[in-house]
Amino acid sequence: MIDVTDVFHPLIKSAVPNTFLMEDKSCFITGSNMAGKTTFMKTIGVNLLLARTLNICLAGSANLPVVEVKTSIKRQDDLEDNKSYYYKEIESVLEFITLSKNSGNYMFLVDEIFRGTNTNERLSSATAVLNYLCMKNITMVTTHDMELKELLNGKFEMYHFMEQVEKGAHFFDYCIKPGHCNSRNAIKLLEIKGYPENIVQEAVALSKKLLSKGVEFSKRKT
């Protein structure tokens, strides 16, 4: 069980506290870009470490398991070692698989699992790996792949972060919510950042066209 009230990250000024309960299942977190997915996952990891090493927690209250924390978050390619981003990623996740063979004493934190490869193989590989990891250990994963909800068959609880819209303005409340996120904001962020209007409009039109044709995995016929 991970049961925290008003938990926050120590390095964020004026951090928004979150209340979160995860019991008997692992979870994955979906949501808009910059809404807080990765930061929340780091918040849980940091507090697990603080609880285990210093017997403190940055929260109003906390009920946490005694586990070792392993992360695959800030990954990058290695030109000197001739390893691509994806290769470094699968090396990191393989370590989790190896640890899971003999122990159920870990918390695995994975940011945007297998984002370094194509959609078909990413979904297939992520599903197989997550099904394996959650058999013995707690796993928390962030993803933009909503299709994983369907593929994981209820083994993971779903949570999300999303942007808010008020009087035409977009902002984030940084509050975790149950369920999966139905909104997307990647193209909207292009507009907010000042990309040329014709590029934004073309991106919006293409997105609608692709969705109408059922390009997304969840709308394909099997």
Whether the pLDDT of residue 16 is over 90: the answer is yes
How many CA atoms lie less than 13 Å away from 39 in the CB half-sphere? 23
Count other Cβ atoms within 10 Å, centred on residue 183.
14
Can you give the pLDDT at residue 35?
Answer: 82
Highest mean pLDDT out of 25-34, 80-89, 102-111, 112-121? 102-111
Whether the pLDDT of residue 49 is over 50: the answer is yes
Residue 157's nearest CA partner among 182, 134, 128, 124 is: 134
Task: Encode pLDDT of 149-192 as tens digits.
Answer: 888 877 889 899 887 666 666 778 899 998 876 666 677 777 77
Domain 2-183 is of which CATH architecture? 3-Layer(aba) Sandwich (3.40)
Structure tokens at 41: 């996952």
Report field, pTM of the whole predicted structure over 0.75: yes
Reported confidence tier of residue 78, pLDDT bands at 50, 70, 90: low
∠ CA 67-71-74, nearest 5°, is: 160
144 or 9: which carries more pLDDT confidence?
Answer: 9
Can you give the pLDDT at residue 184?
Answer: 67
Can you give the pLDDT at residue 220?
Answer: 45
Can you give the pLDDT at residue 218?
Answer: 44
Can you give the pLDDT at residue 182?
Answer: 66
17 or 182: which carries more pLDDT confidence?
Answer: 17
**Residue 55 burial (10 A CB sphere; 0-12, 13-18, 19+):** exposed
